[in-house]
Structures are given as C-alpha cells and as structure tokens.
C-alpha cells in the first residue's frame, strides 16, 4: 500500500499514538485544541532595561502595570471605601507581607473570609478569556477544588449558602492564608500571560538577583539579552575581563549587598588589597554613586573608591591581554596602558598628548603594562573561584540562558535589545563569525550560538568573544564605535578635547531607524510582515521630550528609565508596552513610591493606546495558535490512521 503524502510519516504518528492511544483520546484533545483557538489571545507585557531596580519592577509586574488596580476599581469601586480598595490591591501584590501583618494585629478569620469574597470576582475577571485548564495550571493542587467551585460562583441565591460555607470551611480548616495567597498569585500570573524582558536586568540598581528570583516563578517569560546581561554571562562563563567589568560596575554603584549577600562573592581579599595598595590615594574619579544604601554590607565610600580603582586597573590589564591574543576583534584602540607617560602625566593617542587627572598606578610595570602583579593574579584567581562556586549565580545564569536569546520574533513583533548594526548607507554591517561574514538575522543567530558555546562548552575563543559583545564596534548589543571607559576615568574633564576624547558615537542604526525603509528591511530579513509588524527595542534611554514611538508606530524604544541612574535624563521611570487582544498600549510610569505606614506601594501610570487592532485577536491568529493548528492536523492524521487500520489503538486490558 502506497503511503499517503498528505499524512505525516508513520514513525511520527507512532510517537503521537503513545500520547493519545485511542480514538477517544485523540478526538478529545483535538476538540480541546480547536476550542482553545477561538479564545482571545493572552496579554503580553514588554519591559526593558530593568537595571537592578527590583522594587519598582516587581511592583509593576505584580500590579500588571496598574491594570489590576483598574479592575479592582471597576469591580468594587462603587461598594468599597478607598482604604478598602488600597488594602485589596496591596494584598494582591504582596500577599505574604499583608497576611503576616494582619496576623500580627489579631483575629483574622473574619478578615480572611471577607478577602476571599473580594478576591474571587477579581480572579474571575482576569480569567474570563482563558481556558479552565490554563487557570488550573496556576492553582496549587491543595486549593484546586475550592477555587474551581468558587470560580463558578454567581449571584444565584440557591448556591450562595454553598459558596459561603465553602469559604468558611476553608478558613476553619486553617488553609485560609494559603488559599488567599494562591488567589493573589493567580491574579498576578493570569494578568500577565506572557512576559518579555528586552534586556539589561543587571547593573546600576541594587537588586538584579531579586528580579531573577521573581522571574524564576513566572509561568511564561522570555529574555532578550542586553549588553549588561552578556557581561554577567561572560563572567559566569569564565572570562576574567567580563568578571572584573561586572565587579567594577557593581562597586561603582555601591551594590555590595548584591555581590556579597545576594551572590556570596567574597570581597574581603579585594578590600584588603585595595586598602593597602591605594593607601593615601583619594581615588577621586572612583567614588561610588550612592543611589541606594547597603543593608547588609555597608562599605565606607573611601574604601569603596579604592576597591573600584583596583578592579578597574586589573580589568584594563586583562582587557589588554585579551585584545593582544585576538587581533581580529579590532579593539587595538583600547590598548591605552602602554600609551601612558606617567612622568610627564599624559596619555598619548595618535600623536596627541592629553593631560591625566590621575597618575597613581602603583601596580603598573612600564616594561610590560598589561602584566598582573603576583598579588593581582592571586586576586583574579580568588574572585574567579568565588564566582564559579556561587550556586545562586549559577541558578540565575542558567535561567538567563534557558529563557534568553539574542532576539525573539513573536506574534508579529521583533524583540531585541540593542541594534541591528548598519552602515551609513542603510545596508547591514558584516561581522566575520566562525569564518563566515554575517549580517542582520544571520549575525544574531551566529552570536546566539557563540554565547551558548561560551557558557555551556567553555570554548576559549567563544569565551573571549563575550568581551567583544560587550565592547566591540559591530556588536549589536553595544551599538557604538568605541568604548571610552579609560578616558572617562583618567583624562581631565575640562580639556578642550574632552568631549571628543570621551565621545562614544552611536551606530548608524540609531539615526536610520526613523526611516520606514530601514524598519521594512529589518523586519523582512527576520521573516516578518513589514507592513503590519513592529520592532520593540531597548538599550538607549528615551530622553525628556522624545517619543518612544519611532517610524510612524513601527518601532518602539521602551527604555524609559526605570533605573534611578537615568531618571534625571528621561524624566520618567520606564515604559511598559502591553499587547492584548484589543490593542497595543504604552504605559508610562512615574518614579516608584515605597509603601509607608499610611499608603501602599505604587507607581503612577499614564496609558495610551498606540494601535487599536482591527478586530479582537484570537489565539488562532497567534504564533502559538499556528503551532496548535499544526498539532490539530497531526491529530487528524492520527485519527485517520486509526480508522484506516494503519495504527492500532492501544486499549487497556480488562
């Protein structure tokens, strides 16, 4: 008998038959999937450039950028006081803390019953467009029966006694706290059905480790690596330049709690070395930015400045060694330690001399300026060991790798952090990777592969390349012609040439992405419809007065300054882009306010619809829906094979 070309190969059908061994099982799954395709698409949230601002981000995530409070107001606003609405919102965002506070204040049984009654309509509202099994997946088995029953509650008086008794029995059984917490986490999770983080979880802010802890428990999250994330991945992969780079930035922003308490990095040897080697040095250019105070590991700013300088000098030495063994990186312009004339107090570049503002380099050997001293090498070894043995860091880096990539194309949107490197004429720049010139999508695919080989296989060439991704001119994550960290530390700011010396010119991409032809070329290269798709971008903060909407709504730059370090430039505290079944909406946030004794934690959010959908988008129109349609076709083929006798049903024996 000839094989029907319309049918998948029987070997694939045999595998599918193991999962659905009877006509009834395959039919039931096909019915479920076909019905699922007619549900509205889930709500997608896009965040970018979190930069360790854990309190603000976690609040935005748990509040769904303010949309949960809107639903609370719509459901309960006419019946409850503002203080009651605040309490319910706070409970949903921070259930464990609120429950703990309520328990400490006394009797809670009646409060628990009341909160369950108030939470259920909110859960019903956020779950309206989802299948029951999707909601069940987010429900602890311990509370599944109770929540399933309460999800069917209505104003029907015939059942009101039943629902009240169900809640009372749960509270009397001592599971009220857990039931409330589960309801709150379900509301949070369902409200943000798909979470996209477009890069830069790390650096500047105090709690990137706390952000990763939160993301670990989200049911559907993906990450597009940013340059700061890649720096950390490189450090975890064993690149010592990346390691000292992340240490330099963490110390410069006073993030000692993150390093020592969060990741268990032993900084004692570094502090002892720096205090001795740079004794008497004011290290003026290395004083840390005190944006946040350390709770567990406070460090004197003068000592922090010495540690900062010690780490920076070691980083520049290690960078020089890496550049010399990788001439193909084209980073020779970063070899500056051998351009110092400390007796004259100048830096010589291209025949010009620039006065230094700091000439204290006690560990520099003029005969071999990129050589580490024995004590510096010992420090490198100690810190590499500390990074390698941090189980928390490994867990977070594993998550970044398993959920991360250089880019993602989903539901007509192309997500990437930095840029697509371009030439001034609008053509894609080329970068030689593994012996092949790569441009556009091919470049990002090749780089994704290199990052994975660096992290999982520790290939030396790939590990070295992680530094190029941080600082190379054609790196899509850096997006600038050169990095001028050394010049910013050591040359005087008041020089006539200072601006030119320190300037980091942007890739032509950033002047071309307002042109429709540029955006069309990028979307086409990534296989997306250039007339209806969008690019969602981070990396460069949107300054005051600028719009995050570029190229007539085809490109969005959503780095709006959630990091406090950028808020003087941006004037706001970040953007969230929200894509539900009705519209694409931009949420603009004002700086986060912590909870006090009289108020709840909050961000002030202003939203505007930037694109209304021509009709309500169903799951069948999404990428997931297209994959399910293919699965339905496979199930139909399996059913035909069962009915034609090509595959025998596997019924259990009696």
List pLDDT tens digits, range 320-329: 999 999 999 9
Residue 2: pLDDT band with limits 50, 70, 90: low
Q: Which of 185-194, 296-305, 593-602, 625-634 has the least mean pLDDT?
A: 593-602
Bigger pLDDT: 274 vs 138: 274
Share of the chain above pLDDT 70, in %: 94
pLDDT of residue 426: 95
pLDDT of residue 600: 62
Q: List CB contacts of 15: < 8 A, sequence separation 6 or more.
A: none
CA distances (Å), origin 398, targets 221, 402, 641: 14, 6, 42
pLDDT of residue 654: 47
pLDDT over threshold 80, residue 337: yes
Average pLDDT over every residue of 257-283: 96
pLDDT over threshold 90, residue 10: no
Average pLDDT over every residue of 94-106: 88
Q: Give Cα 163 to chain centroid, integer Å.
A: 41
pLDDT of residue 155: 65
pLDDT of residue 220: 93
Average pLDDT over every residue of 330-344: 95
pLDDT of residue 627: 96
CA distances (Å), origin 103, targets 37, 96, 107, 112, 224: 44, 10, 7, 10, 41
CA–CA gap between residue 388 and residue 534 (Å, rounded): 39
pLDDT of residue 154: 63
Backbone angles phi, psi at 341, to 5 degrees: -120, 95
Q: Which helix (H) or strand (E) holds 632?
A: helix 623-643
Query: What secondary structure letter does DSSP report for 258?
Result: I
CA–CA gap between residue 566 and residue 467 (Å, rounded): 24
> What's the token pair of residue 169?
């029995």
CA–CA gap between residue 465 and residue 452 (Å, rounded): 12
Which residue, 174, 206, 171, is CA-closest to 57?
A: 206
CA angle, 505 as apex, 501 and 507 as ends, to 5°?
Answer: 160
CA–CA gap between residue 64 and residue 42 (Å, rounded): 13
Per-residue model confidence as pLDDT tens digits over 557-569: 988 667 777 666 6
Backbone angles phi, psi at 173, to 5 degrees: -80, -5
Per-residue model confidence as pLDDT tens digits over 481-503: 999 999 999 998 877 777 788 88
> What's the token pair of residue 206?
């105090």
Per-residue model confidence as pLDDT tens digits over 164-188: 899 999 999 999 999 999 999 999 9
Sheet strands (E) in 322-464: 340-341, 346-349, 352-355, 404-405, 407-410, 413-416, 431-433, 436-438
Choose the most confident range, by mean pLDDT, from 124-128, 273-277, 542-546, 575-579.
273-277
**Cβ proximity of 361 and 329 under 8 Å:** no
Which residue, 319, 308, 215, is CA-closest to 259?
A: 308
CA distances (Å), origin 12, targets 375, 388, 416: 60, 42, 35
> What's the token pair of residue 414?
């192309």
Average pLDDT over every residue of 434-454: 97
pLDDT over threshold 50, residue 118: yes
Query: What secondary structure letter does DSSP report for 604?
Result: -
**Cβ proximity of 540 and 551 under 8 Å:** no
Per-residue model confidence as pLDDT tens digits over 368-416: 999 999 999 999 999 999 999 999 999 999 999 999 999 999 999 999 9
Exposure string over 175-203, b if 16+ CB within 10 A, otherwise e = bbbebbbbbbbbbbbbbbbbbbbbbbbbb
> What's the token pair of residue 367?
């005969």
CA–CA gap between residue 416 and residue 48 (Å, rounded): 10
Place of tokens 């009372």: 168
CA–CA gap between residue 213 and residue 207 (Å, rounded): 10
Query: What secondary structure letter does DSSP report for 140?
Result: -
pLDDT of residue 468: 98
Average pLDDT over the chain, rounded to an integer: 91
pLDDT over threshold 70, residue 8: no
Query: How far apart are the two ends of the chain, measured CA to CA in Å?
Result: 33
> What's the token pair of residue 487?
């010049």
**Cβ proximity of 577 and 553 under 8 Å:** no
CA–CA gap between residue 615 and residue 581 (Å, rounded): 8
pLDDT over threshold 90, residue 513: yes
Which residue, 543, 544, 549, is CA-closest to 514?
A: 549
**Cβ proximity of 571 and 542 under 8 Å:** no
pLDDT of residue 367: 94
Average pLDDT over every residue of 337-351: 93
Which residue, 399, 389, 394, 395, is CA-closest to 265?
A: 389
CA–CA gap between residue 211 and residue 54 (Å, rounded): 5
Q: What is the CA radius of gyration of the chain?
A: 28
Q: What is the pTM of this model?
A: 0.92
CA–CA gap between residue 602 and residue 593 (Å, rounded): 5
pLDDT of residue 571: 65
pLDDT of residue 572: 63
């Amino acid at each position: 008998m000839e094989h029907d070309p319309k049918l998948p190969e029987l070997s694939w059908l045999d595998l599918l038959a193991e999962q659905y061994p009877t006509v009834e099982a395959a039919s039931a799954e096909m019915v479920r999937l076909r019905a699922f395709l007619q549900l509205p698409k889930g709500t997608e949230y896009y965040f970018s450039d979190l930069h360790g601002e854990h309190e603000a981000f976690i609040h935005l995530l748990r509040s769904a950028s303010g949309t949960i409070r809107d639903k609370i107001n719509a459901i309960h606003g006419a019946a409850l006081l503002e203080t009651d609405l605040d309490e319910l919102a706070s409970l949903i965002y921070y259930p464990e803390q609120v429950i703990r506070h309520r328990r400490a204040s006394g009797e809670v049984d009646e409060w628990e019953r009341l909160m369950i009654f108030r939470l259920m309509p909110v859960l019903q509202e956020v779950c309206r467009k989802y299948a029951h099994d999707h909601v069940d997946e987010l429900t602890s088995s311990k509370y599944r029966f109770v929540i399933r029953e309460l999800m069917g509650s209505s104003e029907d008086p015939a059942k009101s006694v039943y629902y009240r008794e169900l809640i009372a029995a749960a509270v009397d059984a001592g599971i009220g706290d857990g039931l409330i917490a589960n309801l709150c986490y379900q509301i949070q999770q369902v409200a943000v059905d798909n979470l996209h983080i477009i890069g830069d979880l790390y650096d500047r802010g105090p709690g990137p480790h706390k952000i990763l802890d939160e993301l670990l428990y989200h049911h559907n999250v993906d990450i597009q690596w940013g340059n700061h994330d890649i720096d950390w991945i490189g450090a975890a992969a064993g690149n010592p330049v990346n390691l000292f780079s992340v240490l330099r930035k963490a110390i410069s922003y006073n993030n000692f709690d993150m390093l020592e308490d969060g990741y268990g990095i032993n900084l004692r040897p570094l502090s002892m070395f720096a205090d001795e080697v740079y004794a008497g040095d004011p290290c003026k250019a290395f004083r840390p930015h005190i944006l946040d105070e350390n709770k567990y590991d406070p460090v004197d700013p003068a000592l922090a400045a010495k540690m900062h300088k010690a780490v920076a000098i070691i980083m520049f030495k290690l960078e020089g060694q890496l550049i010399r063994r990788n001439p193909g990186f084209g980073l020779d312009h970063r070899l500056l330690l051998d351009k110092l004339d400390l007796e004259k107090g100048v830096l010589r570049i291209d025949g010009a001399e620039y006065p230094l503002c700091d000439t204290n380099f006690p560990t520099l050997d003029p005969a071999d300026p990129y050589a580490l001293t024995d004590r510096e090498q010992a420090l490198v070894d100690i810190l590499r060991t500390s990074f390698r043995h941090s189980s928390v860091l490994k867990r977070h880096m594993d998550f970044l790798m398993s959920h991360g990539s250089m880019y993602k194309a989903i539901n007509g949107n192309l997500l990437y952090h930095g840029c697509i490197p371009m030439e001034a004429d609008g053509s894609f720049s080329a970068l030689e990777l593994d012996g092949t010139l790569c441009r556009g999508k091919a470049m990002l695919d090749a780089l994704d592969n290199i990052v994975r080989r660096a992290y999982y296989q520790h290939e030396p060439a790939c590990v070295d390349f992680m530094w190029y991704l941080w600082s190379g001119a054609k790196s899509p994550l850096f997006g600038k012609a050169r990095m001028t960290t050394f010049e910013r530390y050591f040359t005087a700011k008041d020089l006539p040439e200072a601006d030119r010396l320190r300037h980091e010119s942007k890739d032509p991409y950033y002047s071309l992405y307002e042109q429709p032809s540029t955006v069309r070329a990028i979307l086409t290269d990534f296989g997306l419809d250039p007339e209806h798709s969008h690019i969602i971008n981070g990396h460069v903060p949107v300054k005051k007065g600028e719009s995050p909407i570029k190229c007539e709504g085809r490109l969005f730059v959503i780095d709006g300054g959630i990091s406090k370090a950028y808020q003087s430039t941006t004037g706001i505290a970040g953007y969230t882009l929200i894509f539900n079944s009705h519209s694409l909406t931009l949420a603009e946030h004002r700086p986060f306010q912590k909870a006090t004794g009289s108020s709840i934690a909050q961000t002030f959010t202003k939203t505007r619809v930037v694109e209304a959908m021509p009709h309500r988008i169903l799951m069948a129109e999404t990428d997931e829906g297209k994959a399910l349609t293919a699965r339905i076709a496979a199930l139909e083929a399996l059913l035909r094979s069962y009915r034609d006798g090509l595959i025998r049903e596997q019924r259990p024996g009696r």
